[in-house]
Amino acid sequence: FVSCRGIDYDKGATETHEGEALIKQAYRRQSNLLVLLATQEKMNHKFMHQSLACHDIDYLITDFKLDEETEARFNAHHITCLY
């Protein structure tokens, strides 16, 4: 389970600090499954450092129901969305 500063269906999960992004990339390399936790205010925000590409994320858990278009875009990257 990891979180992020922002998530976008094109860029994936992003961070403001490179160190945070590198740590999350290391988590992914060592795991078989990655669950990203993101609150509503993090959706559709992009920051400088990509921590996880969409293909690195297996599940996205949010605190709200995604609209159909956004969920379909994440699903196209094989991300299962839960809320």
Domain membership of residue 15 as a residue range:
2-82
Assess contact for 49 and 18: CB atoms under 8 A: yes
Domain total in the chain? 1
Long-range contacts of 74-82 (CB under 8 A, 24+ apart): 74/9, 76/9, 77/9, 79/54
Q: Identify the band that residue 67 occupies on the pLDDT scale cut at 50, 70 and 90.
A: very high
Reported as a single tens digit per residue, the pLDDT across 21-45 is 999 999 999 999 999 999 999 999 9
Q: What is the pTM of this model?
A: 0.92
